[in-house]
Structure 1
Amino acid sequence: MADRRKLLAATAAILIIKKKNKQRSRTMWSKKWLLRRSEFSHVNLLEELRLQPEDWFNYLRMNEETYNELLKIVTPQIERLNTRMRKAITPHERLTATLRFLATGRSYEDLKYTCAISAQSLGQIIPETCEALYDGLKNEYMKFPKTEDEWKKIGKDFDTKWQFPNCLGSVDGKHIRIIPPPGNGSYYWNYKGYNSLVLMAVANANYEIIYCHMGTNGRVSDGGVLEQTSFYQKLIDGQLNLPKPEKVRNSAKELPYVFIGDEAFRLRPDFLKPFPQDNLSKEKKIFNYRLSRARRIIENVFGIMAARFRILHTSINMRLDRIDLVVISCAVLHNFLRRKCSDSYTPEASFDNEDWENSSVNVGLRMNPDIISGLQRGPNRHYATEANESRNKFLRYFNNEGKVNWQDNMIH
């Protein structure tokens, strides 16, 4: 009996060794048409599109000059060496494939036919390039203010362009559709009826994002998402180096420096939101209009991003950390393109435009067509006296020395 067991054990060991040594036969190294990437890739089409600048822009969402500058920035991080087995996919091919993915939202399987790059390779190339885009651009094009002077510059821009003095940023969240990981139930299911992760962002007066946080599950409210960010923690801890209250134009009174958002957020002395919609006095309607007018900037930012990068209109089917990379790369690209080719990337029709004579707003690109009414309602909050007084200071200013001559026509 013992001899039989030894024989069976020896036989099993031999079979395991043979299995390990047996090499899987490969039918082909790669599909033949993929090996002819130099012939079939869309980079050949780009050579033709140089003669048609408008088509080049539509294809990559930027002009050729801007693209070349972007390629120079990311090349050190995405360039790979050739091997004796095959030539590396060039930075040019990697970047154009990634930009087409962001611009169209097409799947890897679909994209491979125009890029002549396998879906498996695209699954590595696109997240790596998105990371390179964010790393290469964030310090210059998504720089978060650190000094009082930098904050004051933002406040001055809001006053000049939106007649909202001492405003430091417009804040809101956008739900990004996702295909959730298996076994997560309703963890990512949001109040709108689909699975999502939330992009929380702060925008300046020039439609640029100065801060973004990506990755909180969609079940959490916008106010809850904001309170989980490093930005908010530093705000409540007094670590943002915000300027002290200052006198504003045409007034002898001081107003605090504040961020603004919709009703989903918590009212604070340094964070204003509208008055509840029920039983509004004329003065409160004026305040809500003036706040909404400046707050619409972040709505336009999200709308522009989604229109230019159609990946944000799809249910993104990637690992969660890679979804984060895709979305924040769209955010930093938005800022880059706003500065480099704003006329073509964001023409005037992209923005909300007010018709003061007819008391209406012509809607530009935005994620929510509601203008003044219909703001998202959050849970009832206990308003601290200091927070209420901060909002009331702006209410009095907008209805007196800070009044603009068209505001009465814009409330209903």
Structure 2
Amino acid sequence: MYRVPKNTISNFIKEVCQEIYNPLQEFMKVPQTEEEWKEIQNNFYCRWNFPNRCRVLDVKHIIIRNAPHSGSEYFNYKGTFTIILFASVDENYSFRYNDVSTKGRTSDAAVFSNSSLNAALQANLLNFPKNGVFVADDAFPLKTFILEPYGRTTCLSRKQKNFNYRLFRARRIVENAFGILASRLRIFEKSIPLAIDKVDILVKTACALHNWLRTTSSEKYTEMGALDVEDFNAARIIPGSWRSEIHEANGLQALRNNVGARNYT
């Protein structure tokens, strides 16, 4: 359409994303002092009534076209070729750390163990408070600074059930952050047909843009009803609109795949 070869456009993508990402990195800074961490703890407690929590951890599989000669390295348990976005999310649904390009077959525990975040925490390079914790699901390794739910197969006491409820409530923050990212930046609706290094910077730039928009244009970027809301009177969760948007997008993608398989025109 623009009389520019596809390989030239492909090079533009990486360069443009890098130029966008460079100035927006300040919106994704990892705290470096204990005071900064304690401020996050206080914000979490005031907004979500969960003490000592510093961030929520989770991973998202980014669907890609399989890299040449990579075999099944990027083939994950969902039956798609992916790279993994490992992220920590703050109380305002913003990404404060991300690690991209881990191969899709890698387990969540291995992703965390091999991350620079884990290395920095183990070496005490981030001045992480002694009582600080990250919240995660049971796919992550159990650490003194990672809280996981009690196993669902055991007979839980009332206190344990209340703890699990609080933890699952807290984890919805990262689910909503990933959901808003995918529903607003539509590149994630289908497999990304780019080389792995280009997907890497594309995802990082998307996370930085998400944070910037959450900070500067939150009401426009995340309109009312987009996020999950808890109805305490009815004791139920009202799903955010991003869930239905992603469901519809996945359905359209599946339809496209089926059409392609049947060689329709």
**TM-score normalised by L of structure 1:** 0.57
Matches within 5 A, 1:81-160: 113=1, 117-138=4-25, 140-160=26-46
Q: Which residue of 1 aligns with 2:103?
A: 217
- Provide the residue aligned with 1:385 in structure 2: none
Contact 2:29-2:96 at 8 Å conserved across structures: yes
Instruction: Check the 8 A contact 1:301/1:366 in 2, yes or no.
Output: no
Match of 2:126 among 240, 255, 270: 240
Could you tell me how far 1:118 is from its partner in structure 2? Answer: 4.5
Matched, 1:356 2:232: yes
Secondary structure at 1:259 match in 2:
strand
1 CA distance for matches of 2:135 and 2:169?
Answer: 11
The one-letter amino acid of 1:351's match is L
Distance across 2 between alignment mates of 1:332 and 1:326: 10
The answer for the alignment partner of 1:294 in structure 2 is 170
Q: Give 1:282 shift.
A: 1.7
2:78 to 166, 178, 192: 192
User: Which structure is higher in RCO with an 8 Å CA cutoff and minimum separation 6?
Assistant: 2
Asked if 2 retains the 8 angstrom alpha-carbon contact of 1:201 and 1:211, the reply is yes
Which residue type is aligned with residue 288 of structure 1?
Answer: N
Judged with a 3 Å threshold, the aligned counterparts in structure 2 of structure 1 residues 144 and 225 are, in CA distance, closer, same or farther, namely same
CA RMSD in angstroms, aligned pairs only = 1.6
User: For residue 323 of structure 1, what is the amino acid of its counterpart?
Assistant: V
Residue 303 of structure 1 is matched in structure 2 by 179
Query: Who is 2:150 aligned against?
Result: 275
1:239 deviates by: 2.4
Task: Name the aligned partner's letter for residue 17 of structure 2.
Answer: C
In structure 2, the residue corresponding to 1:198 is in which secondary structure? Answer: strand
Q: Which amino acid aligns with 2:63?
A: R
In the alignment, the residues of structure 1 paired with residue 212 and residue 146 of structure 2 have an alpha-carbon distance, to the nearest angstrom, of: 28
- Map of 2:93 onto structure 1: 207
8 Å CA contact 1:158–1:294 kept in 2: the answer is no
Cα offset, 1:288, TM superposition: 0.6
- Secondary structure of the structure 1 residue equivalent to 2:143: coil
**Code of the aligned partner of 2:14:** P
Distance between the aligned counterparts of 1:225 and 1:313, measured in 2? Answer: 23
Measured in 2, the distance between the counterparts of 1:328 and 1:183 equals: 25
2:125 partner SS = coil
The aligned counterpart of 2:135 is: 260
Equivalent residue letter for 1:257: G
Shift in Å, 1:184: 1.6
| Whole-Å separation in 2 of the counterparts to 1:136 and 1:116 | 30
Deviation of the 1:119 alpha carbon? 2.9
Structure with bigger gyration radius: 1
SS of the aligned residue for 1:349 comes to coil
Aligned length, in residue pairs: 243
Q: Which residue of the other structure, out of 319, 337, 348, is the alignment partner of 2:195?
A: 319
Q: Identity, % of aligned pairs?
A: 40
Q: Aligned-pair distance for 1:257?
A: 1.2
